[in-house]
Structure 1
Amino acid sequence: MSSAHSAPESDALAQRFVQFALDAGVLRFGTFKTKAGRLSPYFFNAGGFDDGAKLGQLAQCYAERILHSGIAFDMLFGPAYKGIPLVAAVAVELARRGHNAPFAFNRKEAKDHGEGGLLVGTPLRGRVLIIDDVMSAGTAARESIALIRGAGATPHAMAIALDRQEMATEVGPDGTVRDVPYSAVQYVQRELGLAVCAIAKLDDLLHYLEQQADSELAPYKAQVWAYRARYGVA
């Protein structure tokens, strides 16, 4: 790759997380079609954190990033479905680190027997930190925010595993899909008013690749830089 590109700044946690995601097979390189129809040189599937050891290590990364961010919260919320194991695991890890917090999650459909309703766990109250894997269009974030506000609590912040740092898309009145000059994370921050912390960002992945000149991953560096140049946001 041309020397016009320099490795973005990164921190130790982000670099450990990138390596962990690669080792777990959660982060892969190749050619993948995204939900927005883009051909991406990398793919991140948080569903690959699929055993107790991986989930425990993932929860450690979330807890470290959350506590380092300084975000204040009164409880945790995990959106169905992927957010359910995430919020439980993160709550356990935070408690292990001396920050015991209640948590809740939602069902996709309201239960019509027993305790009923959409919510499971502690009743939503105070400042709620939403735990999710990634954000694509911000749709799931809006649904969680509406649910939390509807329960009388305050959607305060989000913690995610990876910020792809790329333009979101929106559907126009005629049904056409177009790129917009901000990411889903930026939309949640600017338009919905929530703080967002990510364990790692695309820039952290680029930093990692810059250190892999002699590895089998070296050929992907140029591809990821090109994707960042075409679809990336600051």
Structure 2
Amino acid sequence: MSNQDPSPAPVADPLAQAFVAFAVECGVLRFGEFKTKAGRMSPYFFNAGLFDDGAKLLRLAEFYAQRLLESGIEFDMVFGPAYKGIPLGAALAVELARRGRNVPFAYNRKEAKDHGEGGTLVGAPLKGRVLIVDDVMSAGTAARESIAIIQAAGATPHAVCIALDRQEMATDKGQDVPYSAVQYVQRTLGLQVCSIARLSDLMQYLEAGGHATSAQDHQRVLAYRQRYGVEES
């Protein structure tokens, strides 16, 4: 038997831990059995649509802004892809302005208008280095769509900021691949990505007994991660 001490546990990220606790408190992060877009049965589910009042959106925007400013990512404007990215991007732009960083904001429609200003884009003209804001990444599809919109407008898709990185295998044509959607966006599409929290942060929250059923939930999430997880970037 080795006399060496075991490797120390990773130091918890205070911002990520506070965010996970906030998401659980709001019912945005739930535990149970949920079917994902990839057809997997996940022991947890994150639904940013349940940040559904002004106070929750304000707190959420504070988390996004803090993580983004800590990341050091440089950008010239914010883009919120339809549909969930629209309120997220707007809330972030407001919070950044409150902190003294006023940047333009734009979003897209799913359907083009043939009256008024027309088109699919609303808000400030897309220009410079564009930051895309969304909730989670499942397959990178939304990121690719946003990239196409931004490039078509003559701007540069530069980075993505999300709430939760699930750190699990993406799928390609119905098959699991050995990289996550975030890794795909970073390595293949060439964009920087920052997230408020990751699956590893959720695991730490559960290991610390963050709520009443943490022990059972931790075992289920751990088993899911062992089956579908990817190496951290």
Do Structure 1 and Structure 2 share a fold, with TM-score over 0.5?
A: yes
The one of 191, 211, 226 equivalent to 2:188 is 191
Secondary structure of the residue that 1:77 maps to in structure 2?
strand
CA RMSD of aligned residues (A): 1.5
Q: 1:142 is matched with which residue?
A: 144
Task: Determine the structure 2 residue equivalent to 1:153.
Answer: 155
For residue 174 of structure 1, what is the aligned residue in structure 2?
none
Equivalent residues in 2 for 1:123-138, closer than 5 Å? 123-138=125-140
Matched with 2:224 is: 227
Deviates most, 221-230 or 151-160: 221-230
Percentage of pairs with the same residue: 72
Q: Check the 8 A contact 1:7/1:210 in 2, yes or no.
A: no
| TM-score of the superposed pair, with normalisation by structure 2 | 0.94
- Letter of the aligned partner of 2:229 in structure 1? G
CA distance in 1, matches of 2:211, 2:163: 27
How far does residue 6 in structure 1 lie from its aligned partner after superposition?
Answer: 8.0
d(CA) in 1 for partners of 2:62 and 2:15?
A: 10
Q: Residue 24 of structure 2: SS of its match in structure 1?
A: helix
Which residue is 1:33 aligned to? 35
Alignment pair present for 1:215 and 2:217: no
CA shift digits 1:160-214 (9 cap, x unpaired): 000000000011xxxxx11000000000000000000000000000011110088
**Corresponding position: 1:107 with 2:119:** no
Matches of 2:7 and 2:41, distance apart in 1? 21
1:59-113 CA-partner distances (Å, limit 9, x unpaired)? 0000000000000000000000111111111000001111111100001011111
SS at match of 1:224: helix
Say whether 1:59 aligns with 2:56: no
Gap regions ≥5 residues in structure 2: 1-5
- Displacement of 1:9 in angstroms is 3.8
Does the 8 Å CA contact 2:207/2:214 hold for their aligned counterparts? no
Distance in 1 between residues matched to 2:199 and 2:106, nearest whole Å = 29
The answer to whether the 8 A contact 2:32-2:44 is kept is yes
- Secondary structure class of the residue paired with 1:218: helix
Aligned to 1:87: 89
2-structure distance, mates of 1:7, 1:38: 29
Q: Which amino acid aligns with 2:41?
A: L
Q: How many residues align?
A: 226
Consecutive aligned runs of 4 or more in structure 1 exceeding 6 Å deviation: none
The more displaced of 154-163 and 211-220 is 211-220
Q: Is the 8 A contact 1:7 1:207 kept in 2?
A: no
Shift of 1:216: 2.5
1:147 Cα shift?
A: 0.4
Unpaired segments ≥5 residues, structure 1: 172-176
